[in-house]
Chain A
Amino acid sequence: MKLTLAFAAVALAALGLAFKSALPSAEEPEVGKPAPEINGKTWLNNLGTDPNLVALRGQAVLIEFWATW
């Protein structure tokens, strides 16, 4: 019985881990680590090609997340 319980606990823990990794990460990127690539469907006030962080390497970039509401 004890063994079964222990097994169940391990199985549950494994399930929990698998579940967690399947969820999209809601964590902020670490300071000092490479910034995740950005995307946008339509770019306004932009001359030239759509901006991306690879092309902007060598410049500092300030990203602002915002909404109209």
Chain B
Amino acid sequence: MPCRGAWPHLKEVDAEFASQGLKVLALSDEAVDLVEPYVEQLDLNFTVAAGSHSSGAYGVTGIPHSVLIDAQGNVAWQGSPYELSKAVIKKALKGAKRPKTDFLALHYAAEVDARVSKSVELAGDGELAAALKEADAVLADDKATEAQKKDATGLKDAIEKHVKALTDQAERLVKARDPDRAIRVLDGVAKELPSSEAGAKAKKRIDEINADPKMKAEIDAAKALERLKDQIRPLKRDKAKPKIEEFVKKYEGTKAAERAKFQLQTIKSKG
């Protein structure tokens, strides 16, 4: 129970500070088949890990437990999530930046020649097209050394693999009936690399998803659920219940309806 109670607070923190460069990560050491349905039902927006082994390194003796890390990578604060103040978060955000589209960013860990480091930096900021252009410039340069060319090729390969991993991820999201996120990923790839084969494929895939009636139903239901949530927020339970029931009936078979059904169960269990 104490763990569950912290979610509204975390959601609020995420909603307020994500745009300023705060990344919220919720780590559980439990298995994914326990964690996933829970995350689904609670409709959490931030990133969650299952099967984490980080609590030892952080000396966690009780949960929920929060650790705030500043933009320089140092521990800024730790304790109960309920005691975390906005002032402390604002201080940790000093000097923080938010990547434009964070999922495009590729952190390339290999050490490279100084000539290729600009390209690596661009990839780290999610500027994949610019990174590829830089790497190509090295490869086209007669004066570039073999080592520099090897580094440039290595980075190009890594970017290609990264883009492939992103499009694979989009397919997994389609299978999980989350077309909204799938389109977000594909759109990122299509816009970043419009003249590449991967970019053209991503664009085509977006059109296919939008044309799929099942996916369209999921998108519509997800939007309607957001509206429903706003609508029932000020209502008492007995007034909210019939509205949710109506929604579940209307959007039956969609993921949003399953989420709404879960809401209904929690209302019932509370009496």
Q: A14 to nearest B CB, angstroms?
A: 25
Q: Mark A34-46, 1 if CB is under 8 A from B, else 0.
A: 1111111111111
Q: In the complex the two chains form, what is the Cα distance from A63 to B25 in whole Å?
A: 5
Q: Is the interface of B mostly helix, strand, loop or mixed?
A: mixed
**Residues of chain A at interface, number, CB under 8 A:** 45
Residues of A within 8 Å of B95, CB to CB, are 58
Q: B111 to nearest A CB, angstroms?
A: 13
In this complex, the member of A26, A33, A34, A65 whose beta carbon has the largest number of chain B beta carbons within 10 angstroms is A65
In this complex, the member of A32, A46, A63 whose beta carbon has the largest number of chain B beta carbons within 10 angstroms is A63
Residues of A within 8 Å of B53, CB to CB, are 39
Q: Is the CB of A60 within 8 A of B30?
A: no
Q: Is the interface of A mostly helix, strand, loop or mixed?
A: loop
Residues of B within 8 Å of A33, CB to CB, are 74-75
Q: In the complex the two chains form, what is the Cα distance from A30 to B52 in whole Å?
A: 21
- A54 an interface residue at 8 Å Cβ cutoff? yes
Q: Name A61's closest neighbour in chain B (CB-CB).
A: B69
Q: Is the CB of B73 within 8 A of A66?
A: no
Residues of A within 8 Å of B36, CB to CB, are 42, 44
Q: A57 to nearest B CB, angstroms?
A: 5
Residues of A within 8 Å of B139, CB to CB, are none
Q: Which of B23, B29, B68, B78 contacts A56 (CB 8 A)?
A: B23
Residues of A within 8 Å of B21, CB to CB, are 58-60
Residues of A within 8 Å of B144, CB to CB, are none
- B219 an interface residue at 8 Å Cβ cutoff? no
- B87 an interface residue at 8 Å Cβ cutoff? no
Q: Is the CB of B52 within 8 A of A39?
A: yes
Residues of A within 8 Å of B224, CB to CB, are none
Q: In the complex the two chains form, what is the Cα distance from A38 to B96 in whole Å?
A: 19
Q: Mark B55-75, 1 if CB is under 8 A from A, else 0.
A: 111111101111111111111
**Residues of chain B at interface, number, CB under 8 A:** 80
Residues of A within 8 Å of B92, CB to CB, are 60
Q: A53 to nearest B CB, angstroms?
A: 6
Name 11 interchain pairs, CB-CB below 8 A, sorted by A: A31-B75, A32-B76, A34-B73, A37-B54, A38-B54, A45-B44, A46-B47, A58-B96, A60-B70, A62-B68, A66-B26
| B residues whose Cβ falls under 8 Å from a Cβ of A | 3, 6, 10, 13, 17, 21-30, 32, 34-36, 38-39, 44-61, 63-78, 81, 84, 89, 92-93, 95-99, 102-107, 109, 124, 162, 165-166, 169, 181, 184-185
The 7 closest A-B pairs by CB, nearest first: A40-B49, A41-B51, A48-B103, A47-B103, A55-B107, A36-B57, A28-B59
| A residues whose Cβ falls under 8 Å from a Cβ of B | 24-49, 51-69
Beyond A29-B75, A38-B25, A60-B89, list 17 extra A-B contacts (CB 8 Å). A25-B57, A30-B75, A31-B77, A32-B74, A35-B69, A37-B57, A40-B50, A40-B52, A41-B49, A44-B48, A47-B185, A60-B76, A62-B23, A63-B66, A67-B3, A68-B3, A68-B38
